[in-house]
Amino acid sequence: MTAALEVLRDLRDPIRQVVSRGLLTDDEYLDFFLRWFNGTNDFLSIGPPALRIKQLLALSRAGIISFLPRQMTIRTQGAYFIVGSKADTDFQAAGTALIEARVPAANAKAAKDPLLTQLLHDDVATLMDLELAGDRRFQSGAVLVDRDTAQLLNSQHRPQGKLFFWGVPTEGVNWLTTQARARTSMTSTCASPTALPASS
């Protein structure tokens, strides 16, 4: 099992190449890659090292941390956050701080960031659309960039000068932009010095 998971990790750069070169049709990209492969890959091969999981379990056994039931709910009561669960209605915990540590799916259209909102409003940036069979379209929520240069594209798919975009808002155009854990003896194409053109 461990060897199989390592294979998935080792295939990340070849998979990025498949995505960046547009080797999948838009239908294949949506149905197979975004909707099926992404979730399977995330479940099997992304997460903390085994040592960190062991340390987390040790903290749990020592009573320092607790795991919440599934289907978590949050409400406020005075100065406290009250955590509950739809799956376990008897569970309740209170805290004075709430940290959201998940990475939501890219959805630039709903973003509250003023810069990104202004770029979209002024048509300096636009969202990635997939043209599907049967004259259907799918808007991914990812900011559209040139996959070769990382230049920002407008709604006419024209590069916007020296504006370059990379990271989570482009997830969907690019792939696995949230993956930042370095691995020995591995070279990532997304970190290659030739990936971005030199500024003049």
* Structural domain boundaries, residue 59: 50-95
Kindly state whether residues 54 and 42 are assigned to the same domain: no
Kindly state whether residues 27 and 64 are assigned to the same domain: no
Residue 144: CB atoms within 10 Å: 21
- Could you give the CA distance from residue 97 to residue 184 in angstroms, rounded to a whole number? 37
Task: Decide if 159 is inside a domain.
Answer: yes
Grade residue 145 by pLDDT with cuts at 50, 70 and 90: very high
**Rounded alpha-carbon distances, angstroms, from residue 177 to 106, 160, 172, 180:** 11, 21, 9, 8
Residue 124 has pLDDT above 70, yes or no: yes
Asked if residue 140 lies in contact with residue 106, where contact means CB atoms within 8 angstroms, the answer is yes
Residue 74 has pLDDT above 60, yes or no: yes
Residue 139 has pLDDT above 70, yes or no: yes
Kindly state whether residues 30 and 88 are assigned to the same domain: no
Kindly state whether residues 124 and 167 are assigned to the same domain: yes
Residue 29 has pLDDT above 60, yes or no: yes
| Number of domains observed in the structure of the chain | 2
pLDDT score recorded for residue 44:
76
Kindly state whether residues 160 and 66 are assigned to the same domain: no
Range with the poorest average pLDDT among 35-44, 99-108, 149-158: 99-108
Residue 194 has pLDDT above 50, yes or no: no
- Portion of the chain with pLDDT greater than 70, in percent: 84
